[in-house]
Amino acid sequence: MRILYRIVGFGALLVLLPLVGACVGALQPTACSAGAAAGDWIGEDFWVRADLARVQRELACGANVHAQDFLGDTPLHSARFNENAAVTEALLNAGADVHAQNDDGNTPLEWAEIAGNETAIELLQGER
């Protein structure tokens, strides 16, 4: 910091510090997201884009596989939006409940059947 201060001065240092921090954070792909443990990983928005690495990172950061969104869906319910079998397997390996029911009484298997996600159907049927 002292060297950077001498090179750019105090005013520029105040401008550059957030940028330096953002760059360092971007270089740390294993950094936990602030919302992992808070349940921000539940819901369609997350699962449409989620890849295995991101799901594993959230799990490692303490994301709750039993968390429920405002409709009672768990991450395993929401994984029906994701065609990546490894994502569903990661949730199952982390202890996700295949028998969990949302507010309408639907299980993850039923949601996978409604969505036509054959991969998830096969995995979930194997966990009965």
The pLDDT > 90 percentage for the chain reads 27
Q: Tens digit of pLDDT for each residue in 91-107?
A: 999 999 999 999 999 99
Q: How far apart, in Å, are the Cα atoms of 7 and each of 1, 24, 25, 77, 117?
A: 10, 20, 23, 54, 57
Rounded to whole angstroms, the Cα distance separating 80 from 74 reads 11
At residue 109, the pLDDT reads: 93
Please state whether the predicted TM-score (pTM) of the whole model is above 0.85: no
Fold of 34-126: 1.25.40
Residue 32: predicted pLDDT: 66
pLDDT in tens, 35-55: 554 456 666 778 877 889 989
Other beta carbons less than 10 A from residue 40's beta carbon: 15
Grade residue 27 by pLDDT with cuts at 50, 70 and 90.
very low
